[in-house]
Amino acid sequence: MRRQIQPYERRFETNYWIGIPYETLLEQVAHLPRETIVLFVTIFDDGTGRPFIPAQAAEDIAKASSAPVYTPSDSNLGRGIVGGYMDTYEAAGTAAADLALEVLAGKDPNTIAPRPTDGRYRVDARQLQRWQLAEKNLPPDTILYFKGPTLWEQHGDLILVSSGVVLLQSALIAALLIEIFRRRRAERFLKESEAQWRSVFEMSTAGVALTDRDLRFLGTNPAFQFMLGYTDQELQGLTPLDITFEDDREVSRQLHNELLLEQRQYFDLVRRYRRKDGTTIWVHAYLSTIMDEDSRPRLFLVTIIDITARKAAEDAVQVAQSELVRIGRLTMIGEMTASIAHEVNQPLQAIVANGNAGLRWLAQARPDLDEARAALKRVVNEGHRAGQVITSIRSMIKKDGSAKAPHDVNELVEREGFTVAPDDPLRVPAARAVHKRAHRAELLRGVEDRRHVGLGRYVRPDEAHRAVALRERGLGWFG
Q: How would residue 454 be classed by pLDDT, with cut points 50, 70 and 90?
A: very low
Q: Name the residue with higher pLDDT: 479 or 163.
A: 163
Backbone angles phi, psi at 328, to 5 degrees: -60, -40
List Cα–Cα distances, 63 to 51, 66, 68, 130, 234, in angstroms.
Answer: 19, 8, 10, 11, 55
Q: What is the predicted pLDDT for the residue at 152? A: 73
Q: What is the DSSP string of 407-470?
A: --HHHHHHHTT-EE-TT----S-TT-EEEGGGTTHHHHHHHHH---SEEEEEE-TTS--EEEEE
For residue 40, what pLDDT band results from cuts at 50, 70 and 90? very high
Higher pLDDT, residue 69 or 404: 69
| CA–CA dist 313, 282 (Å, integer) | 12
Judge contact between 428 and 455, C-beta under 8 A.
no
Cα–Cα distance for residue pair 393/342, rounded to 1 Å? 12
The CATH number of 204-306 is 3.30.450.20
E-strand ranges in 178-295 read: 207-211, 217-220, 266-274, 280-291
Give the pLDDT band (50/70/90) at residue 83: very high
Task: Kindly report the pTM of this predicted structure.
Answer: 0.35
DSSP, collapsed to helix, strand or coil, labels residue 38 as strand
Of residues 34 and 197, the one with the higher pLDDT is 34
Q: Write down the pLDDT at residue 405.
A: 59
Mean pLDDT of the chain: 79
Summarised one tens digit per residue, pLDDT across range 378-395 is: 888 888 888 887 887 777
What CA–CA distance (Å, rounded) separates 303 from 295? 22
pLDDT value at position 460? 45
Helix (H) or strand (E) holding 63: helix 54-64
Has residue 458 got a pLDDT over 70?
no
Supply φ then ψ for residue 354, to 5 degrees.
-65, -35
Q: Which residue has the higher pLDDT, 437 or 82?
A: 82
Q: What are phi and psi of 272, to 5 degrees?
A: -105, 140
Beta bridge partners of 305: 284
Picking from 464, 452, 451, 457, the residue whose alpha carbon sits closest to that of residue 413 is 457
What pLDDT, on the 0 to 100 scale, is given for residue 190?
81
pLDDT tens readout for residues 221-262? 899 989 998 998 888 888 888 888 888 888 888 888 888 788
Pairing of strands 69-70, 38-39: parallel
Question: What mean pLDDT do residues 24-37 have?
Answer: 91
Residues 347 and 382: beta-carbon distance below 8 Å: yes
Q: Which long-range contacts (CB under 8 A, 24 or more apart) does 413-416 make?
A: 413/443, 413/456, 413/458, 413/468, 414/458, 416/440, 416/444
Confidence at 397, pLDDT banded by 50, 70, 90:
low
Work out the pLDDT band at 449, boundaries 50, 70, 90. very low
Q: What is the C-alpha to C-alpha distance for residues 189 and 183, in angstroms, rounded to an integer? A: 10
The closest of 223, 257, 265 to 240, measured between CA atoms, is 257
Q: How far apart are CA 189 and CA 177, in angstroms?
A: 18
> Can you tell me the distance from the alpha carbon of 452 to that of 450, in angstroms, rounded to the nearest whole number?
6
Q: 282 in helix, strand or coil? A: strand
* Mean pLDDT, residues 62-78: 91
Task: Count Cα atoms within 13 angstroms, Cβ side, for 131.
Answer: 25
Looking at the DSSP bridge assignments, the partners of residue 270 are: 284
* 197 touches 301 (CB < 8 A): no
- Of residues 141 and 406, more confidence is placed in 141
251: left (phi over 0), alpha (psi -120 to 50) or beta: alpha
Q: Locate the domains of the chain by residue range.
A: 2-145, 204-306, 309-402, 403-479
Picking from 228, 231, 226, the residue whose alpha carbon sits closest to that of residue 240 is 228
Residue 56: per-residue pLDDT: 92
**Rounded Cα distance, 479 and 472, in Å:** 9
